[in-house]
């Protein structure tokens, strides 16, 4: 697809249609109350939460799209100015509430952008999403897969959320005289909290803004801000530190639980702060202990536990996802400098076009680069299997897009609904 037609989770580029996968902060950087660039497509849940996240946002820009419903967008080629029809089908990402993947189809082929996603093999929702994807594809292969590569490393092996939930409940039950604090983000892990509430027949305390989010999500009787009603409370992830837990223990015996697929450690320099370890690459210099599988809850210091409850896919789930879709080209969407893991490194072998020989030469090249630079190289393999570095697009394209009349940049586009296959 040409640049300047569709933007996903990117808000500062000239585009004709904008897609939001979900409302986590790292996907909304650049989005604000005053953002007016064009129509913004998202799920019904995201559309209901977004005006509260960005007060004053022009809601007339929102275009709500339902899981499984294919929509046709009539866009314009930024280079030839010829009309281009793009079909898009949202698929359940099973990440946080409202999270979607987007499957695009047009003369450019089939492109799937996963956003953040969890692909639990045992989950009915994932099975449904899988059937939906395959139904829409009708035997066609994905040409380009933009994938959540957060845990795209065999080191990351953790159980389904159902199992991790039991681990959290066990910790709470075995500490009947303790207060419990659980670190969460401003969206996500609601099911964990609801299941704790059900299992123990208690309410969960949250902070006021989070209570409003819970109410918008339809949870009416599970959550409270009343301190006297419950010993279990969720706190913002950024405030979940050893210092916080120590401070709370000065007042009452307190256990901290961090649900995360990342190993959490002591900061060696301070010996107090909890932080997510930066796994730089498959050749990480971090402690070998870090690279062990994490199927169980771990007790850290200071009455703090790390439980492998994750809303991202672990490595085996990513492997299954790629096996099912057999994409011709894969690109990781998580590109923060210290955790970028190129999916091509681990999954070149599943590609039906790659011979064993070219696979080996690819891996050996990656290894050489990794050892010289000390971090995972950012590589992209083209369809003809020549290794090519990912470089910024020529700025001329951006300028050309920004010169387009407002109507062609996205202020007004023709939309029509059509079901897949129709």
Q: Which residues sit at the interface with Zn ion, rule CB under 5 A?
A: 24, 116
Cα 147 → chain centroid: 9
Least Å from the CB of residue 15 to Zn ion: 21
What is the end-to-end Cα distance of the chain in Å, rounded?
Answer: 22
Question: Rounded to whole angstroms, how far apart are CA atoms 25 and 14?
Answer: 21
Rounded least distance, CB 97 to Zn ion, Å: 11
User: What values do phi and psi take at 210, rounded to 5?
Assistant: -70, -30
- C-beta of 26: minimal distance to Zn ion in Å? 7
Distance in Å, CB of 96 to Zn ion, minimum = 6
Nearer Cβ to Zn ion (78/160): 160
Minimum CB separation from Zn ion for residue 82, in Å?
Answer: 36
Residue given tokens 């009455």 in the structure block:
303
Shortest Cβ distance from residue 237 to Zn ion (Å)?
A: 12
Question: Is residue 259 helix, strand or coil?
Answer: strand
**Rounded CA separation 54/60 (Å):** 14
Instruction: Provide CB contacts within 8 A for 88, sequence distance 6+.
Output: 19, 41, 65, 70, 71, 73, 102, 103, 104, 105
Identify the H or E element spanning 106.
strand 100-106
C-beta closer to Zn ion: residue 24 or 53: 24
* Whole-angstrom distance, CA of residue 31 vs CA of residue 84: 26
CB of 93 or CB of 381, closer to Zn ion: 93
Q: Which residues pair with 146 in a beta bridge?
A: 113, 331
Closer CB to Zn ion, 24 or 409, in the complex: 24
Report in angstroms how near the CB of residue 74 gets to Zn ion at its nearest.
30
Residue nearer to Zn ion on the CB measure, 116 or 120 = 116
Nearer to Zn ion by Cβ, of 24 and 205: the residue is 24
Lookup: tokens for 279: 């796994």
| Furthest C-alpha separation in the chain | 69
Nearer to Zn ion by Cβ, of 78 and 308: the residue is 308
Report in angstroms how near the CB of residue 184 gets to Zn ion at its nearest: 12
Of 149, 143, 140, residue with least CA distance to 119: 149
159 vs 261 by CB, closer to Zn ion? 261
Ordered strands of the 109-113 beta sheet: 330-332, 144-147, 109-113, 100-106, 83-92, 71-76, 414-417
């Amino acid at each position: 697809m040409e640049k300047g037609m569709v933007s996903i989770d990117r808000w500062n580029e000239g585009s004709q249609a904008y897609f939001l996968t979900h409302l986590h902060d790292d996907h909304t950087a650049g989005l604000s109350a005053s953002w007016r660039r064009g129509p913004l497509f998202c799920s019904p849940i995201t559309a209901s939460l977004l005006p509260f996240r960005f007060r004053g946002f022009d809601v007339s820009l929102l275009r709500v799209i339902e899981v499984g419903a294919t929509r046709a967008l009539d866009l314009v080629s930024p280079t030839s100015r010829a009309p281009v029809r793009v079909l898009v089908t949202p698929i359940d990402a099973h990440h946080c509430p409202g999270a979607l993947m987007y499957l695009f189809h047009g003369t450019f082929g089939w492109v799937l952008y996963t956003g953040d996603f969890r692909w639990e093999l045992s989950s009915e929702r994932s099975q449904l999403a899988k059937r939906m994807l395959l139904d829409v594809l009708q035997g066609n292969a994905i040409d380009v897969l933009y994938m959540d590569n957060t845990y795209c490393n065999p080191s990351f092996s953790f159980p389904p959320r159902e199992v991790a939930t039991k681990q959290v409940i066990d910790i709470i039950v075995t500490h009947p005289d303790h207060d419990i604090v659980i670190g969460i983000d401003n969206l996500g892990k609601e099911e964990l909290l609801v299941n704790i509430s059900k299992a123990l027949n208690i309410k969960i305390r949250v902070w006021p803004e989070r209570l409003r989010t819970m109410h918008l999500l339809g949870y009416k009787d599970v959550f409270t801000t009343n301190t006297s009603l419950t010993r279990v409370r969720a706190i913002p992830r950024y405030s979940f530190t050893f210092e916080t837990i120590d401070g709370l223990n000065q007042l009452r015996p307190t256990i901290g639980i961090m649900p995360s697929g990342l190993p959490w450690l002591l900061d060696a320099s301070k010996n107090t702060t909890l932080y997510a370890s930066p796994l730089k690459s498959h050749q990480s210099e971090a402690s070998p202990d870090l690279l062990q599988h994490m199927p169980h809850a771990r007790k850290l210091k200071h009455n703090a536990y790390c439980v492998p409850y994750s809303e991202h896919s672990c490595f085996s789930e990513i492997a299954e996802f790629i096996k099912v879709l057999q994409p011709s080209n894969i690109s990781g969407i998580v590109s923060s400098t210290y955790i970028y893991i190129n999916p091509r490194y681990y999954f070149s072998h599943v590609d039906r076009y790659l011979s064993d020989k070219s696979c080996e030469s690819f891996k050996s090249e990656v290894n050489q680069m990794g050892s010289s630079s000390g971090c995972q190289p950012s590589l992209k393999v083209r369809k003809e299997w020549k290794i090519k570095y990912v470089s910024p697009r020529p700025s001329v394209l951006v300028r050309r897009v920004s010169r387009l009349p407002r109507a062609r940049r996205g202020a007004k586009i023709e939309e029509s609904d059509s079901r897949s296959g129709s």
